[in-house]
Structure 1
Amino acid sequence: MRRVERLHALTEMLRRSGPRGCTADRLAAEFGVSVRTVKRDIAALESSGAPVWSRPGPGGGYGLAARATLPPVSLSPAQAVALLAAVSAAHDAPYADLATAGVRKILDVLDPVTRRKADELAARVWVDAPPPASRAIRSALEEAMAEQRVLRIRYGAGDGGTTTRDVEPIMFGSRGGRWYLIGWCRLRGAVRWFRVARIERADVTAAPCGDHGVDEVGTPPPTARSVRHHDSGEYTSVS
């Protein structure tokens, strides 16, 4: 997770913690960073004008002043549960952490009656999904895609072999309930699909990507589309 995204998620967590606040240890565990990094992030939020308060000593921690709230949001209980179901079922999707934080932010400002009804309805919707790739791997993939920088990945193939490759990320794709990183593989010199769950390590390099575009991925089936609009193209498997 890039620092700017972590600062946003940190703000949301502090806001949700309410008057009880949140300890530095808990924040560090949540975001997979050190307590020292958390304290630097808190200082950055304070410098930016965020209404952060701190309480020293045992049982102390950090929080966000009550005035840091959102304007009222109008959703029906079913709409609220639809958002919860979507982010819960796609917890391994790109930018899922940010999506979850956004939905929580919306739910927190619903009126009490709508929130209660949404909670009751949500208890009737269950999701059983395998654990996603580690936060470090997902954050590296997301950063490389957003910044269009080359990724160095360690990839475990279906036959048990492992390779290290430099990949220029082009897009994320979901097929059959599985998420893939689709990019130009410099090892193979071609577009390849990498199943995210098989990426054992991912590091963002300083090298910029070339000019490979979505059109090189090919034509998707009629049932596939981007989250922006319908596209077209052909699939290439990993080798």
Structure 2
Amino acid sequence: MKRAERLHALSETLRRSGARGVSAERLARDFEVSVRTVKRDLDALEASGLPIWSRPGPGGGYGLATSASLPPVSLSPGQAVALMAAVSAASDAPFADLATAGIRKIMDVLDPRTRARADELAHRVWVDAPPFSSRVIRSALEEAMAEQRVIRLRYISRGGITTTREVEPVLFASTSDQWYLVGWCRLRDAMRWFTVSRIERASVTKTACSGHTVDEAGTPPENARPVHGREA
């Protein structure tokens, strides 16, 4: 059994074991590997986000937390490739790196047959991905948005003028093939749209945002919608 297949089977065994759990020794016998290999596999599953608990001593073992009682991830090959294509085509989008890591986790827990079919189909989908913006700048923008902290920008205007701004991030927006950071500019004392590709430097401060809302950002671009994936 290949390791990817064993990890999938191992997660299902833990799920079926319920509250009683199962010992590493029992898992090693069932999968015909060493206890050391089982523990290494359990570490890998936990690192991928699976909430594994362990109970030491006689009668102890491993199991899944109650929050993991949902059924395994079940995607068709087409759905898996759709996720990969969407992220690949928007590699400059905020949180794109995290999305890529998330897709890898999903692929790791798919059943081997579905994963193989998705991999084959993925080779039949090509995208002309946009160039990556600075990873350092993107990380700072993502952190400031997620933590709602003021970010200090070195920004080059369309006319080539460079200024330093402190901005309270409100939202990311994509329109006309450009990504923008929309936020309250403390220098201008107004809401502004900053083209991400014109941000030369960015650093997150320790200052919390004062609470400006999305409604203050003005009229959204035509056909704009949040990325939560639900119908309005």
TM-score, with structure 2 as normaliser: 0.67
Q: Which amino acid aligns with 1:179?
A: W
Runs of 4+ in structure 1 over 4 Å off:
none
Q: Aligned Cα RMSD in Å?
A: 2.5
1:65 corresponds in structure 2 to 40
Which amino acid counterpart does residue 65 of structure 1 have in structure 2? R
Partner of 2:90: 90
1:151-190 equivalences under 5 Å are 151-190=151-190
The answer as to whether partners of 1:88 and 1:127 remain within 8 angstroms in 2 is: yes
Q: Which residue of 2 aligns with 1:138?
A: 138
Distance 1:222 1:179, change over 3 A: closer
CA distance in 2, matches of 1:129, 1:160: 27
8 A contact 2:89–2:130 mirrored in 1: no
- Provide closer, same or farther for how the CA distance between residues 130 and 188 of structure 1 changes in structure 2, counting only shifts above 3 A: same
Contact 1:169 1:184 in 2 (8 A): yes
Q: Deviations over 1:9-64 (max 9, x none)?
A: xxxxxx99xxxxxxxxxxxxxxxxxxxxxxxxxxxxxxxxxxxxxxxxxxxxxxx9
Paired AA for residue 41 in structure 2: A
1:113 equivalenced with 2:88 (yes/no) = no
Percent identical residues: 68
Q: Match for residue 127 of structure 2? A: 127
State the 1:230 CA deviation.
7.4
Deviations 1:189-209 (A, max 9, x none): 111111111111100111121
Gaps of 5+ in 1: 1-14, 17-63, 232-239
Larger Rg: 2
Q: How many residues align?
A: 172
Q: 1:184, 1:191 within 8 Å by CA — same for their partners in 2? A: yes
Alpha-carbon distance, 1:219 to partner: 2.4
Rounded Cα–Cα distance in structure 2 between residues aligned with 1:219 and 1:131 = 28
Residue matched to 1:25: none
Q: What residue in structure 1 maps to residue 194 of structure 2?
A: 194
| Cα contact 1:148–1:209 (8 A) shared by 2 | yes
The answer to whether the Cα contact below 8 Å between 1:224 and 1:230 also exists between their aligned partners in 2 is no
Number of the residue aligned with 1:31: none
Aligned to 2:79: 79
User: 1:216: which partner in 2?
Assistant: 216
Residue matched to 1:204: 204
2:60 is matched with which residue?
Answer: none
1:222 positional shift: 4.8
Q: Please, which runs of 5 or more residues in structure 2 have no aligned partner?
A: 5-38, 51-70
Please give the residue correspondences for 1:16-95 in structure 2 after superposition, counting only pairs within 5 Å: 65-67=40-42, 68-69=44-45, 72-95=72-95
